[in-house]
Structure 1
Amino acid sequence: MRKSTFLATGICALVMLLSNDIHAQKFPDLDKSPLDAAWYPNDYKDSNKTARIIYSRPQLKGRAISELAPNGKVWRTGANEAAEITFFTDSYLGKTKIEKGVYTLYTIPGEKEWTIIINKDRNVWGAYTYNDKNDVTRITVPVTTGDTSLDALSMVFTKADNGVVLNMGWDKVRIAVPFTK
């Protein structure tokens, strides 16, 4: 009888200790620049994907884009970690073939055009360790102006004649990056 009482008491103490430990966990608040993803096709029922981008969505909150993504400087294309772009099939950016796989998407903002950079590095925080020797390709695309202002950086893929376009919008800035097959 003593052994079972001791065992039951020990188990109860362990359960209470674990229970208290679980309730004592501190979970972080929501990130100020939430993680988001866009893919093509964007229908969740279609598993035959062409591309996906995972990025954090910085918000202007009354600031200018140039404060968060300065013109002429390599930018991580989002907040926190550098944007990660996955190609599920071989693609082209301009005349350069990009083999299927996972890459980092950097950009260099400008007033009239942005430079789009596909880089081999992965799991990168910001653009602090950006290494142009690991660039797969670069292309320059024009900046256009949207009718509405977007407070949070937004991305979406759309169908193109021979591939997809990665559309980026922030404030009234609009960028279209064409990937072909």
Structure 2
Amino acid sequence: MKKSAVITTITCALALFMSLNMQAQKFAKLDASPLDISYLRASRNETPTAKVIYSRPQLKGRSLDKLAPNGKVWRTGANEAAEIKFYKDVTFGGKAVKAGTYALYTIPGESEWTIILSNDTDVWGSYNYSESKDVLRVKAPVTTGDAVEAFSIAFDGGKMYLAWDTTRVAVPVK
């Protein structure tokens, strides 16, 4: 092979490698509503009972009723609909639920929220929500507490807590 052909081949290979390498280093910006996970487990060494994956929108001076309007189905967070996975059969809000993964929707209200588990997982928002895919609905009373800027879900004492602004909602999980 001629020396010029070898140099051309090496030059082309390096150019291709560098263009691929430069492309691979472009990363998305940090999400404005970061993803979070909350677990229900008896101890760190045990298999969890439940796991919720959700995005955490922030108030940023906006009102809760504008971001999660009363009486309308809400994706329970931001971006994709929140998902809850039960590792074993449980009771959720006093109703039996089989082990599995479900979308977690809510319908906010002034005095109570409706919590919905749906078979329609891996969806963006609640834009295509269909009541026909509901597995169950439970009601949970609204209480108040200190203001929370970023929407939060936590498990404590056998309950799943939803908190945003001064609104608190708790659902028993056993």
The answer to whether the superposition gives a TM-score over 0.5 is yes
Q: Find out whether 1:149 has 2:143 as its counterpart.
A: no
2:128 is aligned to: 129
2:13 and 2:45 map into 1 onto residues whose CA distance is: 47
Measure how far apart 1:27 and its partner are: 2.3
TM-score (norm 1): 0.87
Measure how far apart 1:9 and its partner are: 4.8
Deviation digits for residues 124-149 of structure 1, max 9, x if unmatched?
11111111111111111111111x21
1:51 and 1:31 map into 2 onto residues whose CA distance is: 25
2:96 and 2:6 map into 1 onto residues whose CA distance is: 66
1:42 and 1:73 map into 2 onto residues whose CA distance is: 34
1:42 and 1:124 map into 2 onto residues whose CA distance is: 30
Is the partner of 1:81 in helix, strand or coil?
coil
1:170 is aligned to: 164
**What is the letter of the counterpart of residue 149 of structure 2?**
D
1:2 is aligned to: 2
2:57–2:151 Cα contact (<8 Å) kept = yes
2:104 and 2:38 map into 1 onto residues whose CA distance is: 13
Q: Find out whether 1:64 has 2:58 as its counterpart.
A: no
Give the unaligned 5+ runs of structure 1.
none
Distance change in 2, residues 1:92/1:7 (3 Å)? farther
Is the partner of 1:67 in helix, strand or coil?
helix
CA RMSD of aligned residues (A): 1.9
Measure how far apart 1:157 and its partner are: 1.0
1:32 is aligned to: 32
Q: Find out whether 1:109 has 2:108 as its counterpart.
A: yes
1:93–1:137 Cα contact (<8 Å) kept = no
Measure how far apart 1:42 and its partner are: 8.1
2:94 and 2:141 map into 1 onto residues whose CA distance is: 17
2:94–2:172 Cα contact (<8 Å) kept = no
Deviation digits for residues 136-170 of structure 1, max 9, x if unmatched?
11111111111x2111001111133xxxx111111
1:92–1:179 Cα contact (<8 Å) kept = yes
Which structure's residues are more often strand, by fraction? 1
Q: Find out whether 1:80 has 2:74 as its counterpart.
A: no
Measure how far apart 1:92 and its partner are: 1.3
**What is the letter of the counterpart of residue 60 of structure 1?**
L
Give the unaligned 5+ runs of structure 2.
none
**What is the letter of the counterpart of residue 53 of structure 2?**
I
